[in-house]
Amino acid sequence: MTRSILLSTALVSLFALPAMAQDKENFAASGATGIKLKVSGQVNRAMLFTDDGNNSDTFFVDNANSSTRFRFTGSGDLDSDTSLGFVIETQIQSNSSTDVNQNNRTTNNGATFTERKMEVYIDSKTMGRVTLGQGDMASNGTSETDLSGTSVIAYSSVEDMAGGLFLNDKTTNTLLPIKVGNVFNNYDGLSRRDRIRYDTPSFNGFQLSTSAGDNGRYDAAARYKASFGDIAFDSAVAYSNDNNDNDTYNGSFSFLHKVSGISLTAAAATVDLDNSADPRDPLMYYVKLGWQTKDMTAYGATAFAVDFGYNEDTLTADDESKSYGIFVVQNLDRVGTELYAGVRNYEYDAPGATKYDDMLAVMAGARVKF
Amino acid sequence: MHAKIPGRFLSRAAGLAVIVILSGCANSTPIDPEDVSRPDQIKAGPGLITGSEGEFSVEIKRPS
């Protein structure tokens, strides 16, 4: 019942948007005293073809690189320096590309909403921002800086394309209880949690953040972005501790040569496991070379990229995971849309007698934003 | 029988390809990094609902 009410409310809101937009003048008010409410979101659907070495499958998925979602944000000025606001962001995924697999081609049939952000904040231009509620921990996103323009289909979280698929035993031709998502990880900090977070103001492109979350989680991050002539640079590093347990050190950077459109992106992470009996020493690195141009079509920028991702000690000691792919994204600026396609191969190897088939994934789809 | 392609030839071909790409890019329209979609970001795209304004936004005047 509650779900029905939520769905109805959301649908009524969405269908009412164009009419509300036309009547915007009736709502708008000038000056700094207004409370601003924004509605935004996206639908991101794709077809996913996979070949596990024994069988091929086709899925109709919600692209987990950037899930279908919508959000409401509100803000108002307390005075000339300080504002208050909130964020509510929820996602609705049917057949997430990290859930579907050879045995389960349909997931989340009820298509329920799942929480992403529910937070309030107070923001001072001189003192920084304090945020309370569920949202990004300070370290979230620090493995994922990327200026290639292809992140809707490929970024350092390489498993988002087909993470739910089971690997195939090369010798016996049977599916193993190991998913692609079990052997790749970009160790992108502590994700979204219920927490309190503080961000400093940005000083010449530098910004520091820290947060403390439920179950003793805490982290800290530094971000820097700048332009040097024709070069745009974006970077982040973080330390995080999950449940007073494992220590994660991670970071990423991305260069974009604005004139040529050529970009270079890299990320790396290591985890210091708290359990001394665990022989693993997890490591991840990722590199991507991209090129984007606005001169290929009149619709918007076209972006190409090739990437390579590497993990070791992810599932068992001395295991190795490699992934590489090639991707293209076509922006359609007038309708807030990206068309995309890509091919990715996953390889896994671990000590022991078991030999693993590669997993090939091909995805094509569209992300429509509003 | 396959002819062996020397490594020197491959490296020269790769170098030539890079030069050709860079030459082709020299007069291209610059990319604004603020327009580039970032991972997990839902920066509103212009057009579909709100025209060039991006996010749908209403500003409600506080009662005086």
What single DSSP character describes residue A89? E
End-to-end CA distance of chain B: 88
- Determine, for residues A335 and B56 on separate chains, whether the beta-carbon distance falls below 8 Å: no
- Compute the average pLDDT of residues A196-213: 97
Mutate to test the interface with A, among B18, B35, B37 (most CBs of A within 10 A): B37
Taking phi over 0 as left and psi of -120 to 50 as alpha, with beta for the rest, A229 belongs to left
- A370 CB neighbours in chain B (<8 A) are 44-45, 48-50, 56
Strand partners, A131: A121, A197
Q: What contacts A219, CB < 8 A, 6 or more positions away?
A: A137, A138, A139, A189, A190, A210, A211, A238, A239, A240, A241
Q: Is B21's pLDDT higher than 70?
A: no
Contacts of A87 in chain B (CB under 8 A): none
Looking at residue A26, its pLDDT comes to 38
B36 chain-A contacts, CB cut-off 8 A: 147-149, 256, 292
Q: Other CB atoms closer than 10 Å to residue B44's CB: what's the count?
A: 22
> pLDDT value at position B45?
56
Per-residue pLDDT at B20 exceeds 70: no
* CB-CB neighbors (< 8 A) of A255 in chain B: none
Quote the distance between the C-alpha of residue B50 and its chain's center.
23
Contact A144 B43 (CB under 8 A): no
- In whole angstroms, give the CA distance from residue A32 to residue A307: 46
Chain A closest-CA separation from residue B1 CA (Å):
30
Residue A284, pLDDT > 60, answer yes
State the Cα–Cα distance between residues A334 and B38, nearest whole angstrom: 19
A21-49 tens-digit pLDDT: 444 433 444 444 567 888 888 899 999 99
Band (pLDDT 50/70/90 cuts) for residue A4 is very low
3-state secondary structure of A165: coil
A105 touches chain B (CB under 8 A): no
What is the number of helices (H) and of strands (E) in chain B?
1, 1
Q: Taking the alpha carbons of A189, A191, A197, A200 in that order, is the dihedral positive or negative?
A: positive
Phi-psi region of A145 (alpha: psi -120 to 50; beta: other; left: phi over 0): beta
Does the pLDDT at position A12 exceed 60? no
% of chain A beyond a pLDDT of 90: 78
Q: What is the pLDDT of residues A285-335, one digit of tens each?
A: 999 999 999 999 999 999 999 999 999 999 999 999 999 999 999 999 888
What's residue A107's pLDDT?
85
Averaged over A148-157, what is the pLDDT? 96
Q: Smallest Cα–Cα separation from A327: which of A151, A181, A160, A180?
A: A151
The pLDDT of residue B54 is 60
The top-scoring range by mean pLDDT among A28-42, A64-78, B50-64 is A64-78
Segment A189-200 mean pLDDT: 96
Which amino acid belongs to residue A287?
Answer: V
Which two three-digit tokens encode residue A194? 């219920």
Q: Is the pTM of this model over 0.90?
A: no
Residue A108's pLDDT is what?
72
More confident residue, B32 or A301: A301
How far is residue A369's CA from residue A19's CA, in Å, rounded to a whole number?
18
Please identify among residues 257-316 of chain A the ones whose CB lies closer than 8 Å to any CB of chain B. Answer: 258-262, 291-295, 301
Average pLDDT over residues A50-67: 95
Average pLDDT, stretch A169-191?
A: 96
pLDDT given for residue B2 in this prediction: 47
Nearest CB among A146, A151, A369 relative to B44 is that of: A369
Do residue B57 and residue A36 have CB atoms under 8 angstroms apart? yes
Q: What is the pLDDT of residue A282?
A: 96
What class, spelled out in words, does domain A2-27+39-369 have in CATH?
mainly beta
Distance between CA A56 and CA A342 in Å, rounded? 17
Q: What count of other Cβ atoms lies within 10 Å of the Cβ of residue A126?
A: 7
- Amino acid at position A178, single letter: I
**Sign of the Cα pseudo-torsion (B22, B28, B34, B35, in order):** negative
Tokens coding A347: 């390889």
Residues in chain B: 64
Region A55-64: mean pLDDT is: 96
Residues A2-20, mean pLDDT to the nearest whole number? 44
pLDDT given for residue B64 in this prediction: 58
- Give SS3 for A187: coil
Count Cβ–Cβ pairs < 8 Å, chain A vs chain B.
148
Q: How confident is the model at residue A357 (pLDDT cuts 50, 70, 90)?
A: very high
pLDDT digits (tens, 9 = 90+) for A211-262: 999 989 999 999 999 999 999 999 999 999 988 778 999 999 999 999 999 9
Using an 8 Å CB-CB cutoff, list chain B residues near A148: 36
Q: Is A335 on the interface with B (CB under 8 A)?
A: yes
Cα–Cα nearest to A230, from A147, A297, A301, A144? A147
| Dist CA A308 CA A366 (whole Å) | 23
Take residue A57 and report the two structure tokens written for it: 């499958």
B35 and A301: CB-CB below 8 Å?
Answer: yes
Contacts of residue B35 in chain A, CB cutoff 8 Å? 301
Average pLDDT, chain B: 65
**CA-based torsion, A194, A196, A200, A201: positive or negative:** positive
**CA dihedral angle for residue A155, residue A159, residue A163, residue A165, rounded to 10 degrees:** 120
CA distance A187 to A284: 8
pLDDT value of position A22: 42
Residue A339: pLDDT band with limits 50, 70, 90 = very high
Rg (chain B; Cα; Å): 24
pLDDT in tens, A93-140: 899 999 999 999 888 766 688 899 999 999 999 999 999 999 999 999
> What ipTM, to 2 d.p.?
0.73
* CB spacing of B44 vs A368 below 8 angstroms: no
